[in-house]
Structure 1
């Protein structure tokens, strides 16, 4: 719960960050995020095949798992961030030298010790006395480091018996705040990046392409292909806006490029592209690039 609160607070702070794309070539990326007029909480995401690195004020960590590590950390743009800290930690191949991934937590030591004291392995004549003595003889060592804390617990006896049995197996570590913040910043940075790369293409045929919203994962254009279905609605559950289709404007954009008028297939593809989020100019260039236009001389006849 504490980590979730930390992530939520950080996301609110990072929402004001501006993104500068220094390189964006397939899985080769270098993207810097910073608030205006300050380097506080600024960071950079760098990706190359199989890896992602974060550096800057959020610490320095490198993760490796799949070819495009944006896919590994990518989450929907709405709702709280799902902190998969354990899984992410397994894929961390280089941790920040100052903060690391986990460290001994005095608070966790105290919680574990008191939980065992309140639920001892055997019945006792004076259970309240056990709690009192644990507070007096064990808890004072919580701030003396993991080694001393474990030693104090393991050597403690009550009514002639050990209480903290197999205590060496107990995990007394917590994820560092820097690791939590770094992972949060990675997810938030990818969300911001996806905000300007909202649509991903899924090829379904020679010229039949559906564009899938990366925010809500909905295929906004797919419904238009079904007989009797309504055209796709403007916008999605994430709040992303879709441009309205204007056949005349699209036609003029295609003609202005100088390669003739759009064919029927070109017009259909243009409509799909615009309804999926492209502007008319971008859709027109895509149609021309695919050769879905008439010959220029045919337009003069």
Structure 2
């Protein structure tokens, strides 16, 4: 197992979010509660989705998407609908760029610890070390009783490994460089929000077009 390229991983998960929303949005409805320049309040219901609703609220330099998929607040330009109206092919890495505009917290607030990335880093480090017996000892500690579902669990496993097998660090100068690992990726809910927002704005724009 190797650690995926962050961009490739982002694109893969974004495709998954788009595929999910393609079915989630069936039968969706929009209600416009306020529409006064850049002051807007839209609500959406999704009767066929596992999450049932969200709302989009804007005022100068702010947009908030809130509902069953979390609460995400963005700040960049006066009319934040314009910010999300860019064609998809104009900014394929949209979520990574949009995450920089999250307030508070910025990009970090859109990411979550990923156990799969932690396991991949462990295995990749072992593969590059080429030390006799290392793979067996790592398997015993990290993939036996250890709980890698949290970052604390990963660090506890590293500490337990160093305690049980000190000769790797003492005699062979081998350690797991956890602090240099990228253990986080964009959360599925944030990526879903990044799919929902352009669609929601498209629904709003379509509703403004006269029927004739």
TM-score bin, normalised by smaller chain = 0.7 to 0.9
Show the 5 A alignment for 1:58-207: 58-76=69-87, 82=92, 84-94=94-104, 101-120=110-129, 124=131, 126=132, 129-140=133-144, 141-143=146-148, 145-153=150-158, 156=162, 158=168, 160-197=171-208
Cα 1:153/1:45, change in 2 over 3 Å: same
Q: Give the total of aligned pairs.
A: 190
Contact 1:47 1:53 (C-alpha < 8 Å) held by counterparts: yes
Contact 1:64 1:93 (C-alpha < 8 Å) held by counterparts: yes
Summarize deviations over 1:137-181 as a string: whole Å, max 9, x none. 223434362123124336546383343453212121222222222
RCO comparison, higher one (Cα < 8 Å, 6+): 2
Contact 2:55 2:65 (C-alpha < 8 Å) held by counterparts: yes
Contact 2:119 2:148 (C-alpha < 8 Å) held by counterparts: no
Q: Secondary structure at the match of 1:11?
A: helix
* TM, length-normalised to structure 2: 0.74
Q: Report the Cα offset of residue 70 of structure 1.
A: 1.0
Cα 1:197/1:144, change in 2 over 3 Å: closer
Runs of 4+ that moved beyond 4 A: 36-40
* TM, length-normalised to structure 1: 0.54
Show the 5 A alignment for 1:276-291: 279=212
| 1:43 paired to 2:57 | no
